[in-house]
Structure 1
Amino acid sequence: MKLALDARLLTQPLHGIARYTYNLIRHLPLQPEDRLLVLYHPQQWRPEPLSQVQWVPWTGRPFSPLAQLELFHLLKSERIDLFHSPSFLCPWQLPCKWVLTLHDLIHVQRPQDYGAGQARYFAWLRQHLRQAAGILTVSESSAAAIRQWQSAFKTPLQVTYPGVEPTFKPHRPDPALLARYQLQPHKPYVLFVGNPKPHKQFDFLQTFWQQQSPSQRQTQGPLVAVGLPASRSSENVICLENVPDSHLPSLYSGAQILISPSLAEGFGLPPLEALACGTPVVVSDLPVYREVLGSKADYFVPQDPTRLAQALQASHLRARPTLPPDLQKFNWQQMAQTTYDFYQRCHVA
């Protein structure tokens, strides 16, 4: 097969969709007769040499008519068999079969968090997906939502769980690394890893942390929020915007607890990565977290500070976890293999 992948979202540090895309490229089990063309943004990403992978710099804006035309002609000239968009961005028209990864339907489920433009785009996307050879998603919970959203259509749908890289394992505290982030070895802190989007509920968590009593602050330490601009820091809350991926295992390992108070998720990698590093997790009670984390997490009702306090207390009583065998199914090699098998089915259909 001649495959093409739109990887223009690749950037450092790797956010959720970028991490998914990067690991798909690295682990895709290409056969000798296969070739993969990867579109990337040269100002955001430095490509690494990979067998049978051709990196093509491309800066076309997603919704530019000229860029759409250029993409069409590029794929046609390269005689691409199948094009994969690993994000929500979907070309208008392509000269080949195509698949799209729809990680979640948060834009549809929470329209109040997004503008009218996003609502129009997803209304268009719902209709446009009828032309797709297939849809990929990252959890059974997301798949159920997509099936309901697409109930009138029968586009093939495949779940491919994301993975946890081997670097996510228990680490001893690195004093120099911790000092870089205003932390000290053996001094407690609680971790949040995410972004400022409303559904991540950082504002709720920040307010909760600022209202902690002096004894609670001494026991739990500051809230360290990875992925938030430093300007959002406040009393007892440290925000760290640009944390290299290589530092995350140490930050996870040093934390007392990781908290994810989200109102919605397609999968949610940080709690799984924290578990792999031996750190207890407290998460909002969402179907996808029940699916992925099972009994290995402590749950609370979203936006309920009393239930969050109870879950934190329960988590403090837990032993430090290890990644159990049933969570080891979340690996990037399996994700890439399942994706490749889906490519083949879509190609011959």
Structure 2
Amino acid sequence: MHPTVLLDASRLLSRTERAAPTGIDRVCLAYAEWLIAHPQYRMVPVRARKGQLALVSNDWFRERIKDLRTRWNGLSEVQDRPQDTALLQALSTPLRPAQSVRSPLPVTTETRKKRHVARQFFRARRTALPPAMAYINVGHTGLDEPGLLTSLQDAGIARLLMVHDLIPVTHPQYCRPGDDAKHARRIHHALSLGSHIIANSAYTAAELERFASGLNLPRRPVEIAHLGLESHLGQAEPLVTSRPYFVHVGTIEGRKNLAFILNVWRTLTEQMGEQTPSLVLIGRYGWENEAELAMLHRCPELQGRVHQAEGMSDRLLTRLMLGAQAVLSPSSVEGFDLPAVEASALGVPLIASDIPPHRELVGHARLIDPQDGFGWMSAIKDYSIQKPEVPQYTAPDWARHFAIVDERILKPLATLHQQR
């Protein structure tokens, strides 16, 4: 009998209608696919509901996973959406109005059917969980209340929890009001009630240690396992445009330091005129982004030169990154920064802020202080004229990530489970 592993699917189930995933969404999907295919464990999907876990239909969940993978990859698409076509045309036609391409999925009959299924699913009553060896939560969902982890602990089920960052705690100015206290509760419960912690970077692990020391919390085993990349990454042709452009991938929010970059671009237009490269911001609108939105929509110098899009398939995103002079990652703070790693894996030049996660993961990039306006302008000008060669880069991958989780956590747990 294969040991049972409970996978918390709460975050994935809340994303069933999203056109494009966040970085944490990708991690949740990768774990689901890994456990579904694993020959030694029986994966049972569950979701958090009022501080307790409820079973998810295995067949229903597997169909949702297949659907998300197909939709998010976008590799089977033949034609771009009208919004994407408009963006591509804008990159070849200077001085057009700035593009803001926000594109939720169309409400088709199939989408309505999925919404109906989801509504029925979330109304389902709680069912007794099967005996299990471990519970895995890699999406932070449900950890702000202690009851869920306490009940698992009382049942003798190991609790494997991934911590992606402590940004709401360490940098609350970049988050919604109240998120700092909520995330602090999550981290407190993870450290006091979790049995194993997975950190996505050494920086995140160090922040966890600092948090635990400050509150005199127990020191749980922390495994550092860098996140992997999508297996289809690079399966696209570079985009060719009539003018050079740069790309930023990520939510448009304060911590991404985009207000700073937009001010850099405004200065570039004053200095370079018609030779100013384009900038493409790919991502949803987030929180604490009033300065960014004011610049995007009201700054005359940026009109036709800066474009924003969201809901983009991985296929088109890969094309945009491959064709760019460079990917920009000017963030003030990150836990991992998946787009920066993806750009490096694709062989795309990267200009990134000089912060600990970037030094750890993409030290080969052109690293610049996140507030050094002259440094960023110089780098962008240089890369506009000549796209530099990128040194050989060995990207982290899911095989190594899951080897750490399996060898150091799950297999020892399975041995103990069999001895009981």
TM-score by length of structure 1 reads 0.80
The residue aligned with 1:285 is 354
Unaligned ranges ≥5, structure 2: 48-55, 68-116, 286-292
Cα 1:145/1:283, change in 2 over 3 Å: same
Cα 1:322/1:22, change in 2 over 3 Å: farther
Q: Percent identity?
A: 24
Cα 1:292/1:314, change in 2 over 3 Å: farther
Q: Secondary structure at the match of 1:79?
A: coil
The residue aligned with 2:208 is 146
Cα 1:319/1:171, change in 2 over 3 Å: farther
Q: Secondary structure at the match of 1:173?
A: coil
Amino acid in structure 2 at the alignment position of 1:48: K
Distance 2:391 2:120 in 1: 44
Give how far 1:8 is off.
3.1
Cα 1:288/1:171, change in 2 over 3 Å: same
The residue aligned with 2:79 is none
Distance 1:200 1:345 in 2: 39
Distance 1:118 1:255 in 2: 35
Farther-moved stretch of structure 1 (9-18 vs 164-173): 164-173
In the alignment, does 2:182 pair up with 1:121? Answer: yes
Unaligned ranges ≥5, structure 1: 50-56, 175-183
The residue aligned with 1:4 is 6
Q: Secondary structure at the match of 1:77?
A: coil
Give how far 1:278 is off.
2.3
- The partner residue of 1:304 within 372, 383, 390 is 372
> Are the aligned partners of 1:142 and 1:266 in contact in 2 as well (CA < 8 Å)?
yes
Farther-moved stretch of structure 1 (283-292 vs 267-276): 267-276
Cα 1:29/1:143, change in 2 over 3 Å: farther
Q: Which residues of 2 match residues 178-257 of structure 1 at below 5 A?
A: 185-213=241-269, 216=272, 218-228=274-284, 232=296, 234-235=302-303, 236-257=305-326
Give how far 1:60 is off.
11
Cα 1:127/1:107, change in 2 over 3 Å: same
- The partner residue of 1:159 within 200, 213, 224 is 224
Q: Which residues of 2 match residues 101-116 of structure 1 at below 5 A?
A: 101-116=162-177
Q: Which residues of 2 match residues 13-52 of structure 1 at below 5 A?
A: 13-28=20-35, 32-39=39-46, 46-48=64-66
Distance 1:35 1:255 in 2: 43
Aligned residue pair count? 320
Cα 1:243/1:346, change in 2 over 3 Å: same
The residue aligned with 1:52 is none
Distance 1:340 1:58 in 2: 32
> Are the aligned partners of 1:29 and 1:340 in contact in 2 as well (CA < 8 Å)?
no
Distance 2:257 2:369 in 1: 13
- The partner residue of 1:131 within 186, 193, 206 is 193
Deviations 1:185-235 (A, max 9, x none): 242111010102211122222222123235635445211000045x85551
Amino acid in structure 2 at the alignment position of 1:141: Y
Amino acid in structure 1 at the alignment position of 2:345: A
The residue aligned with 1:85 is 137
Deviations 1:122-141 (A, max 9, x none): 33234322111111111111
Tell me the C-alpha RMSD between the 2 structures.
3.3
Farther-moved stretch of structure 1 (285-294 vs 296-305): 296-305
Give how far 1:146 is off.
0.7
> Are the aligned partners of 2:246 and 2:324 in contact in 1 as well (CA < 8 Å)?
yes
The higher radius of gyration belongs to 2
Cα 1:115/1:251, change in 2 over 3 Å: closer
Amino acid in structure 1 at the alignment position of 2:66: E
Cα 1:126/1:305, change in 2 over 3 Å: same
The residue aligned with 1:331 is 397
> Are the aligned partners of 2:247 and 2:279 in contact in 1 as well (CA < 8 Å)?
yes
Q: Secondary structure at the match of 1:9?
A: helix
Amino acid in structure 2 at the alignment position of 1:46: R
Give how far 1:277 is off.
2.2
Give how far 1:24 is off.
2.2
Distance 2:222 2:370 in 1: 29
Distance 2:313 2:392 in 1: 23
Deviations 1:40-83 (A, max 9, x none): 7989x83229xxxxxxx877999xxx99xx6xx54x52223211
Farther-moved stretch of structure 1 (114-123 vs 281-290): 114-123
The residue aligned with 1:180 is none
Distance 1:214 1:172 in 2: 33
The residue aligned with 1:263 is 332
Cα 1:227/1:116, change in 2 over 3 Å: closer
